[in-house]
Structure 1
Amino acid sequence: MEMTIKVEIVRRGEAELRVRRGERVENVMRRLGLNPVEYVAVMEGRVVPEDEVISKPVRLKLVPVVSGG
């Protein structure tokens, strides 16, 4: 079954995306052309791993990882 989720990519904008129930956050990132290693996913206000399963319509925020030395 498909559903619509809202995705915010910090510093890049927002979009609505159709996904299958049970799709993983990692797959959503890849569909958006993002490398999952370079982003932290926040779903419903909670940091989630990239293998988190999306089981209902949610708001997903993708935050780029900042590193340096």
Structure 2
Amino acid sequence: MEQEFYRGLAQRVRGMAEKADPFTRRRLLDLAKRYDSKGRAAGPGGTERPLPAPRTTPPASSFSGPGEA
């Protein structure tokens, strides 16, 4: 899922680079390369973060006492 996200960003940035001046084009293409590398790293065996463990107890509410008007 994250891999598709970065792949899509790289594609959008390359589209913008087509219409940009040479200096901006070079910077946008460098950015697209970075997005591509992040997309590959997030693939199987990549560096994608795991989901946090579910809570076993509900969080303490700050409104647990008697209410004040």
Q: TM-score, normalised by structure 2?
A: 0.23
Tell me which protein shows more helix as a share of its residues: 2
Larger radius of gyration: 2
Tell me which protein shows more strand as a share of its residues: 1
Q: TM-score, normalised by structure 1?
A: 0.23
Question: RCO greater where, 1 or 2, for CA within 8 Å and sep 6 or more?
Answer: 1
